[in-house]
Amino acid sequence: MAGRNGRTVRDLRRANRTAVLQRLYFDGPLSRFELGPATGLSSGSVSNVVADLVADGLVEEAGSVDSDGGRPRTLLRVAPGSGHLVGVDVGETRVRIELFDLSLTELARTERPLVQGRYDVEVIVGHIRDGIAEVLAAADVAPERLLGVGIGVPGIVERTPDRGAVVHGQTIGWDAVPLEALLRSPAGPPAGLDQGGEGAGLPDTVSYFIDNGALTLGQAEMWFGGGRGARNAVVVLFGSGVGACLVTPEVEHGRAVEWGHLTVRVRGRRCRCGALGCLEAYAGAESLLQRWREEGGHPPRGTDEETALTAMLAAAYPPEGGTADPVALAVLEETAEYLGAGLSDLINLFQPERILIGGWAGLQLGAGFLPAVRRHAAAYALRHPAEKVTIDLGRLGPDAVTVGAAILPLADFFTRGGRRPEPTPQGPQPTWRAVLEERSPH
């Protein structure tokens, strides 16, 4: 039966379960007494919801605390082992797959390197399939225990009714790649999985949640890292290329912005996307190393970008008593100016409270690189918004994209009130964006 506002009793129960699960997840452990004011539910409703969640194995006891003159109050928490999540980072140098329990504690991981400059769709789909099989086998977790698979990818992600998530990754040569449909295709289970199901050997109730890698990085930092408590923030992904995730009151769930393709120099360097003068043509790790080579530097041959950038930093900033490579130092200093100028555009446009820099290259450049970036950002930005923003490194390290990807099915789990999705002929439709608009973990 639907009420005057159109909500059914089932909707109300699901909303109450969601409220209790979220408060226990972000603020727990809590007692039943504390859950009342935290959720706005009556004590009777709290008791009923908690009883249901305990019966479903989603909530468990976590000790007790003394009360004022009465019996000790039992503390409750979300049971970490009541579900599992996979996070995938489709980077530009490797594919990383991690398995988490419900508390986002890592249980297993694997990585598949990519040949530089080659992003064959079939290869990456195979890496994802095999990686999921490997981490499930390593942790002895049955595929049926998965709540979902979250995947962060480079490029723009479009959701279509017939093919699911489609990726437009111009810089890696992906033109409308139906990644979700490819993962769901009945190609047979990968090695190590002999269970039934389709696609990557998973049951058809398992959802794939695919979005831009900068957005998944941003979600991780906003939920668990340096963005907690901020209403206006920008999280920057600085890797082979550069991207950003914008979070404001108007787009609380986060929005990926193609920041790397702002024009910073008219008739400038050719970017991977084909345009001239993009920020990414100056500030991405790939272009940074190319510029070092073009100016007469000597990046190590036959190594990946991460190893080459480490060598560049060592050349520019040698141990005490060493001689700095002036070419490497000049390129890094110029990169700091371009990056600062690019951040000034974000400051002027969105006036964020915080800017967080993550991604493997951003973290590798580290705290020593930040003072120059901050100085240039302040010089190019309007004074008033520049005085109100802080610029720091992200706090979650190199795994932030996979953690953020795993947040996508976790958010869907919350919006369903902890219920697993029902199987449908086309597979379940992700609803994570609605969850991220409603949640308030800060």
- Residue 158 β-bridge partners: 166
pLDDT at 301: 82
Cβ 99 vs Cβ 107: under 8 Å: yes
Torsion of CA 56, 61, 66, 67, to 10 degrees: -10
- Tell me how far apart the alpha carbons of residues 404 and 245 are, in angstroms, rounded to a whole number: 12
pLDDT in tens, 171-184: 888 999 999 999 98
Give the architecture-level CATH label for domain 82-213+398-414: 2-Layer Sandwich (3.30)
Q: At the topology level of CATH, where does 225-394 sit?
A: Nucleotidyltransferase; domain 5 (3.30.420)
Domain residue spans in the chain? Answer: 8-76, 82-213+398-414, 225-394
- Tell me how far apart the alpha carbons of residues 78 and 169 are, in angstroms, rounded to a whole number: 37
Cβ 207 vs Cβ 412: under 8 Å: yes
Q: Which of 113, 95, 109 is nearest to 137 (CA)?
A: 109
pLDDT at 392: 95
Q: Is the pLDDT of residue 198 over 50?
A: no
Q: Is the pLDDT of residue 127 over 60?
A: yes
Q: Is the pLDDT of residue 314 over 60?
A: yes
Q: Is the pLDDT of residue 358 over 70?
A: yes
What string of H, E and C letters represents the secondary structure of 338-372? HHHHHHHHHHHHHCCCEEEEECHHHHHHCHHHHHH
- Domain 8-76 and domain 82-213+398-414, same fold? Reply is no
Choose from 77-86, 108-117, 158-167 the range with maximum mean pLDDT. Answer: 77-86
pLDDT band for position 6 (cuts 50, 70, 90) = low
From 58-67, 123-132, 426-435, the region with the lowest mean pLDDT: 426-435
% of the chain with per-residue pLDDT over 70? 87
Within 13 Å of residue 331, how many CA atoms lie on the same side as its CB? Answer: 30
Within 13 Å of residue 64, how many CA atoms lie on the same side as its CB? Answer: 7
Mean pLDDT of the chain: 86
What Rg do the C-alpha atoms of the chain give, in angstroms? 23
pLDDT at 65: 79
From 20-29, 145-154, 186-195, 326-335, the region with the lowest mean pLDDT: 186-195
Q: Which one-letter DSSP state was computed for residue 284?
A: S
Distance of CA 171 to the CA centre of its chain: 20
Q: Which of 240, 229, 198, 190 is nearest to 401 (CA)?
A: 240
Q: How many Å is the maximal CA-CA distance in the chain?
A: 78
More confident residue, 52 or 302: 52
| Domain 8-76: assigned CATH number | 1.10.10.10
